[in-house]
Amino acid sequence: MRLLLVEDDDHVAAALSAILAKHGFTVTHARNGEEALQAVLPTAQGERPSYGVILLDLGLPDQDGYQVCGRIRKLTTTPVIMVTARGDVRSRIHGLNLGADDYVVKPYDPGELLARIHAVSRRNAGPEEGTGPTGAADGTHLHLGSVTIELPTRRVSVDGEAVPLTRKEFDLLALLAQRPGVVFRREQIISEVWRTSWEGTGRTLEVHVASLRSKLRMPALIETVRGVGYRLVAPAA
């Protein structure tokens, strides 16, 4: 996922960009409000930059971050997360009323920020966007090459042949398949599929991934991103 980071402190931006890159994000850095606005404008060829999320600091040198948020919201529907030291309730309410999708107060835990990025991007992804460039969806079915996932009936087939999965295997596959190519952190998968924390459940996740690869007869379908998590690599049709 590509992110726009609007942060005037280069040291803070560098540290956060390194964390985000480690978790599979591509970061574009804007140092002030004007750079942020230019980053979301269409190019001379009419192409609009594509960002999954915009992380917006409010203490910018050229204009107030609230003003920038209001102007960004008129240009794009990309989710905006305000990241700021202004932690009072009035500031939070004002930011959300201007169109921010979430509000994170500094200092923050990087894991919480990553979870919030994934949360707002999931809420913003429609059926077509959520399946990525090589997948397709009709709102109830996900089609990934020869793999079909029927969400209402919880059925999975490969080349029309049904593949029996356990409940957790289906939940894991459906989660990854809704955003092919996007890296899901191990902690995020455990939280969403098993509804628990990471401690003591890492081996369970590995076993379920191995089982899916075997049952679908597609070892390369789910890619391990070392030190981060997993992503689904959509097969060719």
User: What is the share, in percent, of the chain residues with pLDDT greater than 90?
Assistant: 42
Average pLDDT, integer, range 51-73: 92
- Give CATH 3.40.50.2300 domain extents, the chain: 2-124
Residue bearing the bigger pLDDT, 232 or 199: 232
Q: Using CA atoms, how far apart are residues 7 and 14, in angstroms rounded to an integer?
A: 10
**What topology does CATH give the domain 2-124?**
Rossmann fold (3.40.50)
**pLDDT tens-digit profile of 103-124?**
999 888 888 888 888 888 766 6
Return the closest-CA partner of residue 201 out of 216, 215, 191.
191
Q: Using CA atoms, how far apart are residues 67 and 174, in angstroms rounded to an integer?
A: 39
pLDDT at position 128 over 50: no
pLDDT attached to residue 133: 38
Residue bearing the bigger pLDDT, 136 or 62: 62
pLDDT attached to residue 75: 87
Return the closest-CA partner of residue 99 out of 60, 61, 54.
54
**pLDDT tens-digit profile of 140-166?**
788 888 999 998 889 999 999 999 999
Average pLDDT, integer, range 62-66: 92
**What topology does CATH give the domain 132-232?**
Arc Repressor Mutant, subunit A (1.10.10)
Span of 47-51, 62-66, 86-90 with lowest mean pLDDT: 47-51
- Asked whether 33 and 62 are in contact (CB, 8 A), the reply is yes
pLDDT attached to residue 115: 85
- Give CATH 1.10.10.10 domain extents, the chain: 132-232
User: What is the full DSSP assignment across 65-104?
Assistant: HHHHHHHHHHH----EEEEES--SHHHHHHHHHTT-SEEE
